[in-house]
Amino acid sequence: MTTDSLRPLDRLARDWESQRRNQASRDAMAALARAEPDLANIGAQDLGDLVDTLVGSALDAWGAGRGPDERAHAATLFRAMLRSGRVHPLVSRALVQALAPGLVGVGRRLGWGQGGEWDSPASFTVDAIATAWEVVEEWSGQDRAYAVLDVLSALRCRLRRRIVRHRSLHRSERLAASDELLSERAGVSGSDVEELARAIERERRHLVDEDAIVLYAHRVLGYSLSELSAWSGHSRRLLATRRDRAAAALIA
């Protein structure tokens, strides 16, 4: 992680600081509270309070330093926000702000865009923020059991596709080395990753949704079980069971 890569996130935070306590923020929180009992119960006065509750003071991806009950509660609140995201335009902005720690995790996993179309880590981070916002807007109103994980997984998948596409168009020794690095981080070769992704998609109707999501996030997108546990609120043991069950179903 570099100082350059974090500057867009600093600007995002400053922009949020100017909005988090205004009247629109209070109106949006009131609308969410009317739509979602879980959000009403935390007693937040505005979206600033709500985002603070979601991410706390942890600097790692989605409060991995907090206990499992806190993580599960935060994941439930994020799910409720996404589900009722259309009650006010500012809710999407709050969701993006809540995702900021997760954006750092995605950036690290993708080498801050190394080997892609971006000319600096900062420009990659700007695109990551914009892509996160696109996903939030597209999925606003949907009820997703693994809302945080789903959004971050979609974000990483979209950015990774752009990196792979750029490498395929501009092959060189330097980019080939980046390709190898990304594959190592994912734990399997690029061709294996793509084949597994296709197999999951092909057999999706025969898999339990929760199992397929964990397998895809762990084996295709390369997230560790610790990261998935932090984002979903579920134990590593449960996630490992779901991953292994989906893998067994694919070869049955």
Output b/e per residue, 62-77; b: 16+ Cβ within 10 A. bbbebeeeebbbbbbb
Residue 106 maps to a domain: yes
Supply 202's token pair.
Answer: 């092909």
Average pLDDT over all residues of the chain: 83
Residue 60 lies in a domain: yes
The distance between the two most distant Cα atoms of the chain, rounded to a whole number of Å, is 56
Task: Return the higher-pLDDT residue of 23 and 160.
Answer: 23
Using left for φ > 0, alpha for ψ between -120 and 50, and beta otherwise, residue 141 falls in left
Domain count, the chain: 1
Kindly report, residue by residue over 113-122, the tens digit of the pLDDT. 988 899 999 9
Please report whether residue 43 resides in a domain.
yes
Enter the pTM of the model.
Answer: 0.73
pLDDT of 186 reads: 46
Give pLDDT tens digits for 208-252: 888 888 888 888 777 788 877 877 778 889 988 988 998 888 886
pLDDT digits (tens, 9 = 90+) for 135-165: 999 999 999 888 888 898 889 888 988 888 8
Q: Is residue 203 in some structural domain?
A: no
Q: Which domain holds residue 181?
A: 3-186
pLDDT at 3 over 80: no
In a domain, 87, yes or no: yes
Tell me if 74 is assigned to some domain: yes
* % of the chain beyond a pLDDT of 90: 42
172 secondary structure, DSSP code: -
In a domain, 209, yes or no: no
The average pLDDT across 100-110 equals 89
Is 31 domain-assigned?
yes
Rounded mean pLDDT of 177-193?
A: 50
Is the pLDDT at 12 greater than 60? The verdict is: yes
Q: Which amino acid appears at position 71 of this protein?
A: R
